[in-house]
Amino acid sequence: MISVVRRVTTLAWRERAFLGEAVFYLALARLALWLFPFNRLAPRFGKQHCESAPMLTLDSERAQVRRVSWAVTTMSRFVPWDSACLAQAVAGKMMLRARHLSSTLYLGVAYANNKKMLAHAWLRCGDVYVTGAPQHKRFTVVATFAEIDTAADATTAHPV
């Protein structure tokens, strides 16, 4: 843990602030998932059965998405509460939404060797998997949630 603190202190203030933002959204996501049933939270994740655009067009957007991915996945390993795949995906979605970037939250299921059902959540923005990759390839998608940009044309969210 001390080596982690040392590494963080060597980062620029901007990166430290980004990691702090990730901790805030991970805590908020975990608290929301603990307090509210999923069916009450789901509408806040976007329109169900839709996906965001499959490609990012700007390098600056791609850089922002990769920074969000780095911050969420890094801090999820060090927070004192459980930040499993769904909390990470929700936190990443909130961070991307704050940056006006559309994303798709996926929920999937798979069966383990012992016939036990497994669930997984992951987040995609454009062609970048923000959280939950590469494990997502093992899962069958059962639900998607994406923002619909009312100011843009109808191609912003694509029905699944």
pLDDT at 158: 61
Residue 38 has pLDDT above 60, yes or no: yes
**Residue type present at position 48:** Q
As a whole number, mean pLDDT of residues 62-75 equals 96
| Long-range own/partner contacts, residues 149-155 (CB < 8 A, 24 or more apart) | 149/102, 155/53
pLDDT at 113: 86
Residue 152 has pLDDT above 50, yes or no: no
**pLDDT, mean over the chain:** 89
Among the listed residues 78, 83, 77, the one whose alpha carbon sits nearest the alpha carbon of residue 27: 83
Q: Convert the pLDDT of each residue in 84-141 to its tens digit.
A: 999 999 999 999 999 999 999 999 999 988 889 999 999 999 999 999 999 999 999 9
Is residue 12 very low, low, confident or very high in pLDDT (cuts 50, 70, 90)? confident
